[in-house]
Amino acid sequence: MLSRFTPDGSSWRTLADFGLPKDVWPVGRLDADSEGLLLLSSEKALVDRLLSPSRKAWKRYHVQVERVPDDDALASLVEGVVLDGTRTLPSRATRIVDVPWPPRDPPIRFRKSVPDCWIELAIVEGRNRQVRRMTAAVGHPTLRLVRVAIGDVALGALPPGAARVVDDAELAFARLPRPAGSTVPSPRTTPRPVSRRSPRDRRP
Catalytic residues, by residue number, are 31
Do 187 and 166 touch, CB atoms closer than 8 A? no
**Which residues lie across from 66 on neighbouring strands?**
116
The CA distances from residue 167 to 6, 90, 137, 170, 191, in Å, are 28, 29, 37, 6, 6
Choose among 57, 92, 45, 40: nearest CA to 173: 57
* Angle (deg, nearest 10), helices 130-137 and 71-79: 140
- Tell me which H or E stretch contains 111: none
First to last CA, the chain: 11
Element (H, E) at 132: helix 130-137
Bridge partners, residue 12, by sequence: 202
